[in-house]
A and B are shown apart, each in its own frame.
Chain A
């Protein structure tokens, strides 16, 4: 019997097999679609919908996908997110053309070519002392305009009832925030050279993240099934920092943050981390991560889906796994279909898997390949192949 999209997602999260593997695409900045492929997708489908940006933020470049397209993609979740304070949105909307986009944290993006923005404005690049942490003009996380729309939007989705609700707050992650404030190389160097400062900065950022997360969760109330956070801990070949450094400095912060969320909501915690994080998966499970994303199969041991499933598949739900390095940008639609079938065959048996691209669909992915990915999921349905039978 066909399930509703929400039933499908909840079954997968309970580690039961739904009527087909759930699809998480077009929602959040980790499982989203950039504006260029979104436009092409709409053209291909003959859908006439406005070009809206996620978080009302053009410089991020990720589309806020319209309902008709989400339905066509078969996406089983719908997103709810915070926004920057109204005053910050207004200040940026009225700034001179091509000027830097500066967010409420004081960090921001610069336009390096027309329409291409990169997060490279780092206001704490040179900071190395606790005094500089004290003196920094931190943003007001109690500003009510950040979450003013959240309660009504979540209630609307809950009343509709068809879709799982995925809360996707914007960059409320301590390590990513630290990179934004200092630049990745500077902050990584501080972890090694000024660990007391680096650790204090992470705790400060977590405190601010928690303040907003508290307001966000309060506005959501019971109307949320999945809440997304994340911090990129992996690189192409291994980890960004040693397991020892992660366990000493960052893991207690992640643990505190996730415990704060689990105390306030029954929603499952969705943790996004790029790269090869194989050595940290036990740690992430231990601190309360329920869903791991994006399973970057192009990075080191993450290619070993069989081992991932065998070791952690009964306790962790995987979301992602469809390669954005080669298959989606450069593969034929048939190669995309074959890859979807392969990944589902390994990860979907006994539930605990939701299909998504590894990271947001970028400008180099043809719209046909996006459709090939989701159509392959529909075609498989609950067939034996989707249960790992060959």
Chain B
């Protein structure tokens, strides 16, 4: 299985350096010689993304490098997802995500999506400019464990409070944990709007989500 180990090393390097096309090739070659999709995910891709996250937190890499690593990860996950589903691999939780109404910023949100997917969550992204009703609809229909709301502007951060109030009125607040994120967010805002937590950046989002959901 020497070739297998070589491929895992190369896949790790491709995700780390954001080489999406090559990462997909290597992943396919790995599958071709019998590597399990979960092996590719847990032994190469997730460690690579964790390493990017670590380097981002310490200021060794910046947004461009983080974005291309996340993109490479996403491209390979597209190949692996049907295989993981077919193999009946269980996700560790379901996460509904969206940028709040009146806001279109999604760079940070998309990075968090990839981080969560990489960590084994099923992520359903409702996109940008998502009104309260769509969050409510998604909670009813998809029964997620957690809902993530993103806002980049101080003006749109007001939507967190409106959305959480609407979710309470719909009688759904105790069914989900609510996490918020984006430039204007800090612990004071979390407490003010009645959310369950926030992450200051994409790389810490997984840690925070797991803590809030009680996943070790």
Contacts and interface: CB of A to CB of B under 8 A. Distances in A.
Given A188-B67, A237-B201, A364-B158, A242 B183 contact: no
A238 interface: yes
Given A192-B68, A193-B68, A237 B200 contact: yes
Interface in A218-251: 235-242, 245
A192 B67 contact: yes
Nearest to A326: B154
Nearest to B56: A238
B102 interface: yes
B71 A189 contact: yes
Contacts of B65: 192
B18 A116 contact: no
A113 B129 contact: yes
B62 A239 contact: yes
B59 interface: yes
B154 A362 contact: yes
A191 interface: yes
Contacts of A245: 62, 64
A32 to B, nearest CB: 15
Contacts, number: 61
A113 B68 contact: no
A369 B71 CA distance: 43
Contacts of B216: none
Taking residues whose C-beta sits less than 8 angstroms from the other chain, chain A's interface range is 20 to 34
Interface residues of B, number: 26
Contact of B68 (A112, A189, A363): A189
B62 A241 contact: yes
A30 to B, nearest CB: 15
Contacts of B170: none
Contact of A185 (B62, B107, B153, B184): B107
B110 interface: yes
A346 B174 CA distance: 48
A120 interface: yes
Contact of A240 (B18, B62, B101): B62
Interface of B is mostly: loop
A113 B18 CA distance: 35
Contacts of B107: 184-185, 188
B104 interface: yes
A105 interface: no
- Most chain A C-beta atoms within 10 Å of own C-beta, residue among B101, B110, B183, B201: B183
B62 A238 contact: yes
B104 A185 contact: no
B63 interface: yes
Interface string A343-372: 000000000000000000011100000000
A325 interface: yes
A58 interface: no
Nearest to A120: B104
A113 B131 CA distance: 11
B172 to A, nearest CB: 24
Interface in A35-87: none
Contacts of B110: 185
A116 B102 contact: yes
Contacts of A116: 102
A329 interface: yes
29 contacts: A112-B102, A112-B104, A113-B101, A113-B129, A184-B107, A185-B67, A188-B63, A188-B67, A188-B107, A189-B64, A189-B67, A189-B68, A192-B18, A192-B64, A192-B67, A192-B68, A193-B68, A235-B183, A236-B183, A237-B201, A239-B62, A241-B63, A242-B62, A245-B64, A325-B154, A362-B153, A364-B154, A364-B155, A364-B158
Closest 6 CB pairs of A and B: A192-B64, A188-B64, A118-B104, A191-B64, A185-B107, A112-B129
Interface of B: 18, 59, 61-65, 67-68, 71, 101-102, 104, 106-107, 110, 128-129, 153-155, 158, 183-184, 200-201
Interface of A: 112-113, 116, 118, 120, 184-185, 188-189, 191-193, 235-242, 245, 324-325, 329, 362-364
